[in-house]
Amino acid sequence: MKRTTLSLFAAAAALAAVTGVAALGGASPAAETGAKAPTRLPVQRSTALCPAPTSSDVAETTYTSFTPQAKAQAGGKTSAAQLLSAAGPAAKSDAKADAKADAKADPKKAGKGAKAPQAAGKPVLSLKEPGKPATATTSSSDAPALVGTADGALAPGWTTQQTTVIAAGAGRGLHGVTCAAPDTSFWFPGVSTVKGRQDYVHVTNPDPTAAVVDLELYGKDGRIKAPTGEAVNVPPRSTVPVLLSTLTDAPTEDLTLHVAARNGRVGAGVQASDEKLGGDWLAPSGDASPSVVLPGIPADATSVRLVAHVPGDDDADLKVRLAGPTGSISPAGHETLHIKSGMTTAVDLGDVTKGQAGSLLLTAEGDSAPVVAALRVTRGKGDKQETAFIPATPALDGRGTVADNRPKGSTLALVAPGKEAQVKVTSSAGADGGSPVSKTYTVKAGTTLAVEPPQPGGTKGPYAVTVEKVSGGPVHASRTLALPKDGLPMFTIQPLPDDRSTVAVPEAEQDLSMLNR
């Protein structure tokens, strides 16, 4: 082929690429050129990472995996979604690797009822069809982190919940986490390095090449020197747990952790265990924003603590409001909040809900800097206390799903910080049978609506709940799962961000007219 012909093809390909980038950049170029707006299509592949659940010998973990049923999927051919065991140590309390884990693995016990750790790459849970959850359980103290993928019709909205009941010891209670997609940056306001509390950050690498991450801690005076948290190597398809108190010599109650990947992409989650107050997983805060919403403070919360951080170079000035069942109020004595750049601020709000479920709204006053934030919520009194965390949660653009719901144990919190909104809530069939059911709710402006999801007909086993925005203003959501035991109010709270089940695909065409200019 002649060099001139190659040049023509190269120019056409380059122009097509430029056209595609312009379509992604916004509506204005498309309006000027007459190009069509990007089409939103279902994603074809989803990835999820679950951290190692516990090192306790008196714990049981349930995994529940689910993909919502879409109209286009009905009767169609689907692909399987699988969660596989990752290599690397489970989260031991002494942070040492369990070198014998793989040697003890018994692949025959993979899946439901597994009692031994799985060798790296062995299937733990498989989902075969949309609309019906799949479950697996393990009581192993060496249960590994999981790396999962879903393809084809099972990819859009694929969600996996990891729920662990720890019967005794530090962190006893209910630990729940939604297995998340890998990324390069995570913010965790609300971590601690004080005596009596053990906070582990679990970093999982799903890819075949090594990842390198920095673990940065920020307190009330800015960044804390923690050289051992720099350039932490995470081997391919493995997990690394790090005890945060080993990164600094100064025990601190309220800190913000930033997990930043230098190379590769990772999943990250923090498991907080307290000797007296139980524990839970702390999910990362939503992207830094001048105004954030922390949805779903239970009505019977006995203590609520806010921890917020400003990642940027400017200070933040925020108005603090509590959105309850009938409207929004400013907590007495905590009407505003000032946070200096690069610093972490904590506020004890006490029993701010006063017996009514609510959500905390942090709203920018003027040109305020973006913030990340989380709440530590305590229920119960005396030696019967339990804690959970609520991170700042982005609004639902379309749909969000939370798996592993139990009859009489789940409560949805829906908050509309601005305009009134309507949402459709669908409860799926159970893992062992039943039929789905849907109900539409109206959330009034500036309020939080706390409801028990509609109970699916004849349900057997855990079921999933999907929340879809129908109309109106932005809606933020979370789910509280409560499984009380022996007088202890065990509970966990999971945010419901948008499931990102669709992606914008621009329409690009070759334009050879430029070659005549």
Tokens of 515: 């070659």
Report which secondary-structure segment, H or E, holds 239: strand 238-243
Residues 307, 351: one domain? yes
Q: Residues 125, 227: one domain?
A: yes
Handedness of CA 174, 179, 182, 183 (dihedral sign): negative
**In terms of domains, do 30 and 51 share one?**
no
Cα–Cα distance measured from residue 198 to residue 301, given in angstroms and rounded to the nearest whole number: 23
From 282, 316, 333, the end of a domain falls on 282
Range of the domain at 192: 45-282
Q: Are residues 303 and 227 in the same domain?
A: no
Shared domain check, 63 and 27: no
Task: Give the chain's domain count.
Answer: 3
Specify if 13 maps to a domain. Answer: yes
Question: Which amino acid belongs to residue 199?
Answer: D
CA-CA distance, 420 to 474, in Å (whole number)? 8
Q: Is residue 193 part of a domain?
A: yes
What pTM value is reported for the model?
0.85
Full pLDDT tens readout for the chain, 517 residues? 433 433 433 443 433 333 333 333 344 444 445 556 678 888 999 999 999 999 999 999 999 999 998 865 444 455 889 999 997 554 333 333 333 333 333 333 333 333 334 456 889 999 999 999 999 999 999 999 999 999 999 999 999 999 999 999 989 999 999 999 999 999 999 999 999 999 999 999 999 999 999 999 999 999 999 999 999 999 999 999 999 999 999 999 999 999 999 999 999 999 999 999 999 999 999 999 999 999 999 999 999 999 999 999 999 999 999 999 999 999 999 999 999 999 999 999 999 999 999 999 999 988 889 999 999 999 999 999 999 999 999 999 889 999 999 988 999 999 999 999 999 999 999 998 889 999 999 999 999 999 999 999 888 889 999 999 999 999 999 999 999 999 999 999 999 999 888 888 877 666 666 566 5
**Do 267 and 325 share a structural domain?**
no
- Tell me the two tokens of residue 86: 């990752």
Question: Can you read off the two tokens belonging to residue 403?
Answer: 């798996």
262, 282, 302: which is the final residue of a domain? 282
Which residues neighbour 351 within 8 Å (Cβ) at sequence distance 6 or greater?
A: 301, 302, 303, 304
Which of 282, 302, 337 is the C-terminal boundary of a domain? 282
Strand, coil or helix: 186: strand
Same domain, 20 and 139: no
Q: Is residue 287 part of a domain?
A: no
Q: How far apart are CA 239 and CA 262, in angstroms?
A: 16
Residues 189 and 301 in one domain: no
Based on the domain organization, do 152 and 242 belong to the same domain? Answer: yes
Nearest C-alpha neighbor of 311 from the set 198, 188, 424, 209: 188
Are 49 and 38 found together in one domain? Answer: no
Shared domain check, 175 and 55? yes
> Could you tell me if 338 and 473 lie in one domain?
yes
